[in-house]
Structure 1
Amino acid sequence: DGEFVLTTYGTMRLDSAKLADIRWGMVVADEAQHVKNPYSATAKQLRTIGARARVALTGTPVENNLSELWAILDWTTPGLLGRLGTFRTRYARTAEGGDPAAAERLASLVRPFLLRRRKSDPGIAPELPPKTETDRTVSLTAEQTGLYEAVVRETLTAISDADGFARRGLVVKLLTALKQICNHPAQYLKEQEPRIENRSGKVELLDELLDTILAEDASVLVFTQYVQMARLLEQHLAARGIRTQFLHGGTPVAEREAMVNRFQSGEAPVFLLSLKAAGTGLNLTRAGHVVHFDRWWNPAVEAQATDRAYRIGQTQPVQVHRLVAEGTIEDRIADMLARKQGLADAVLNSGETALTELTDAELADLVTLRGGTR
């Protein structure tokens, strides 16, 4: 009575039988996106622990598709949304397809069981300074344009002759290749000793941004989803005499803490971060700028990363810069994300998995290079 047990998901999995022997008054799942896959071992073991009340806490209830929202609510409120297959048919497909009426039907069903707050809500974080978000478009270089058009031409031909899993694999491979080309040719070509200067519109724009930011004695977070791209930037900035550090999935816990301390103390004004490894759990309020070097399919993941700087304790305005290669797939993805933001109460984007289901004509329209190159 009056006591509680605090544990991790990993320990809970190992000791679920012991925990299930106790009738708990309440079980709280923090960072509940860790149980968004109902078939994972973590989600299955969590369901074996009985409680009079269950509460899920998360900043990203939907990261890829609405099945994740179903998984969380089916744990907190079993049966509310029915079986997963029925839920997908009745609600998810139409809502994810952009039907506002379907999204509202789903929102009205789950609304009584959700308490949602944003930092922008009155009284939640009145001390937070303003945040400005800007999409900064860049043109591809001639080298990037040639690579981009060649990859589109060759891969669309292969895709037209494939089906099933082979076709889906080719689509994902195409999307990844185009995003890498938009970043820098050396990343796509996997060059061992790359020449970095004058080959990427994004790198040129980043240099301009950093010149301005560092001249103001400010600090900046630079997020990329690709470790290889971060390594290229690390090499490039070192050659320019700019102090950086790079945090990725392989960084030991103790070194992560040391990196955070160095950044917060101003020793290294440019912090390169892997989006997946550093998107949560870090307090980096020295940064007044956040750069998303490449776009993730999901605005919620980008927002979580931005919140490493825009969080309680931040005293300076935060400027968010999203780099977008003009006329490319990144342009199209940015438009898709912007259109779907209006459905955020019930729907976020469906990620690259949904793009694998596009028809050949729709896929060609998505990836074909348009104007804006040089």
Structure 2
Amino acid sequence: MKASITTLITSRCCLDLSPAGLIRVVSPFDAVTQAQLRQIRPRGRWNGPARGWEFPLAAAGVLQQQFGRRFAVTAALEEWLAWSRLPLPPLPQHRQLVAAADLKQNLPDGRTPLLHQRSGARWLLARRGAVLADEMGLGKTLTALLAARAMVRCAEVRVLVVAPVGLHPHWRREADAVGLSLQLVSWARLPDALPAAGTLLVVDEAHYAQSMKAQRTAGLLRLARHPRLRAIWMLTGTPMKNGRPSQLFPLLAAIDHPIARDQRIFEERYCQGHWREGKAGKRWEAAGVSQLEELRRLTRPLILHRRKRQVVDLPPKQRQLHPIVLPDDTSIGFDHRVDLVVEDYRRRAQLGEVRSDAEPLAVLTAMRQIAAEFKLSAAEQLLYQLHQQGHAVVLFSAFIAPLQLLHQRIGGELMTGRQRPLERQQSVDRFQQGKSNCLLATYGTGSLGFTLHRARHVVLLERPWTPGDLEQAEDRCHRLGMGDGLTCHWLQLGPADQLVDGLLASKAERIEVLLGPRRQSLERQSLPAMVRACLQVA
């Protein structure tokens, strides 16, 4: 009887490989085993949803020594452990890699890498894990490929690029320009493993992995922690899109930054991590901001963030605010639409269909969408004036319905998430080739990796919630190769727009504290207070 119980427990105990590339210790609850796991170093972390402890691969030896007789090792983990016992040969020294990069040579297509691209390639070659966070439009793709070419010339390495599907043609063109062979995969189809020879992983639009709860983040971390990985270079113009350090943590974990090896400690120190009592019990929250100056100092060696004004002589970008005042009769119609939304939400809250405490945010979102429709007349007039002057214009909105209405009135190119990637690229090509002078796009599609520098004017029907999305949209047009300056027109109607614009300024200030070239102090603003003030005015 005792032997059968022991066999049953052993069959339920194992050391496995988690989706994020950590060692998962699976076992039924046992006070002695739990106490032993807490003593393991490097430290592990209890993963409640997975019902097991998770440890970095560096803890494999201690775990096997402590539990090897009782815990089976799965085949997937055994393969990783076998590779760890046979490490890859060291890479050449930095000066050899830089010499092999041929950074001063012209490319086959006649281009000459710019000074900041050459220095960026040298910076990458000195690091096995790094985040290249240059502003949009500075040519991060070419910078990374120049460094990758040097790596391939000096070592047995294959190049794997993770990028959104819509950017694959751009990566292929740039790779052909530098004479580099690479493999492209999308964020939706990340591989589970890497070949034995060794891989350089280049991750484009790395801000796609800013949530530790997302499956694609786990898939990326699994590749980043793979024993056959040579180096990982993350590319993003917005490493902290919403101004929260919690969004930066997955990127730091992927490059194995020391401060990201313990998520709980990171969240306690930089994200105001704390337990909060709720109806369903305690819940861990880590969405705050703290110790930004210290975080800035510790991350600067592995995050390179340069602004256009620092490294290139681009034409200036300026913003013009267009306040809109509705006529009295139109204003009554606007208020009536908002009242209907409030009444409907409260009715659904009484039926238990929605949360009653989420009413302010729901009303605010509805106000933004309604305001976007009421701004169409002003937007149409502005577009007409710009077209009369011979300008090409890109207009962004977060909502599809206003874009469709505007497209019916003025025509042009319409680009939304309902189109296939090929159709979006065709719309961009027609606009860039001068076949159309107006491109109407949602933030989620038009601001993703496309080059729209033919436009000299960008109209924002309303602003997105995050500074990262705002910069992605505006800087699609403010890029290398543009001629004259860029003017960004902000249409503003009512307190909802004023609130979001204020939030953007507050979040952008946090990002500047972390990534900016100089130290700054941070003046905090309370989001709940701002929302309440907005709704009171409305």
- Band the TM-score falls in, shorter-chain normalisation: 0.7 to 0.9
Alignment partner for residue 324 of structure 1, among 492, 496, 500? 492
TM-score normalized by structure 2? Answer: 0.55
Q: Which amino acid aligns with 2:462?
A: D
Q: Deviations over 1:99-152 (max 9, x none)?
A: 6xx22122122122211111111xx222x2111112222124324542365258
Q: Deviations over 1:71-112 (max 9, x none)?
A: 10011024423533332332124997676xx22122122122
RMSD of Structure 2 on Structure 1 (CA): 3.3
Q: State the partner residue of 1:265.
A: 433
Query: Contact (CA 8 Å) 1:107, 1:345: kept in 2 or not?
Result: no
Is 2:7 the counterpart of 1:7? Answer: no
Q: Which amino acid aligns with 1:86?
A: I
* Structure of greater Rg: 2
Q: Which amino acid aligns with 2:497?
A: E
- How many percent identity over aligned positions? 27
Q: State the partner residue of 2:312.
A: 125
Alignment partner for residue 34 of structure 1, among 208, 211, 234? 208
Q: Which amino acid aligns with 2:191?
A: D
Is 2:241 the counterpart of 1:63? Answer: yes
Query: Contact (CA 8 Å) 2:270, 2:292: kept in 1 or not?
Result: yes
Query: Contact (CA 8 Å) 1:98, 1:340: kept in 2 or not?
Result: no
Alignment partner for residue 218 of structure 1, among 378, 382, 391? 391
Cα separation, partners in 2 of 1:22 and 1:307, compared to 1, 3 Å: same
Alignment partner for residue 146 of structure 1, among 335, 351, 373? 335
Q: Deviations over 1:205-228 (max 9, x none)?
A: 213322321111111000011111
The SS at the match of 2:404 is helix
Q: Which amino acid aligns with 1:133?
A: R
> What are the equivalent positions in structure 2 for 1:206-355 lying under 5 Å apart?
206-237=379-410, 243-326=411-494, 328-345=495-512
Alignment partner for residue 85 of structure 1, among 239, 245, 264? 264
Number of residues paired by the alignment?
333
Q: State the partner residue of 2:518.
A: none
Partners in 2 of 1:279 and 1:258 — Cα distance?
A: 15
Partners in 2 of 1:275 and 1:244 — Cα distance?
A: 17
Q: Deviations over 1:280-336 (max 9, x none)?
A: 22122221100111111112111111122111111121100111113x121112122
Q: Which amino acid aligns with 1:29?
A: V
Q: Which amino acid aligns with 2:325?
A: S
Is 2:261 the counterpart of 1:72? Answer: no
Relative contact order: is structure 1 or structure 2 higher (C-alpha 8 Å, sep ≥ 6)?
1
Which blocks of at least 5 consecutive residues in structure 1 are unaligned?
A: 185-199, 238-242, 349-354
Q: Deviations over 1:342-363 (max 9, x none)?
A: 2224569xxxxxx9x966x764
Partners in 2 of 1:39 and 1:362 — Cα distance?
A: 28
Q: State the partner residue of 2:221.
A: 47
Q: Which amino acid aligns with 1:178?
A: M
The SS at the match of 1:62 is coil
Cα separation, partners in 2 of 1:161 and 1:10, compared to 1, 3 Å: same
Bigger drift between 56-65 and 293-302 goes to 56-65
Partners in 1 of 2:502 and 2:266 — Cα distance?
A: 27
> What are the equivalent positions in structure 2 for 1:98-117 lying under 5 Å apart?
102-117=291-306
TM-score normalized by structure 1? Answer: 0.78
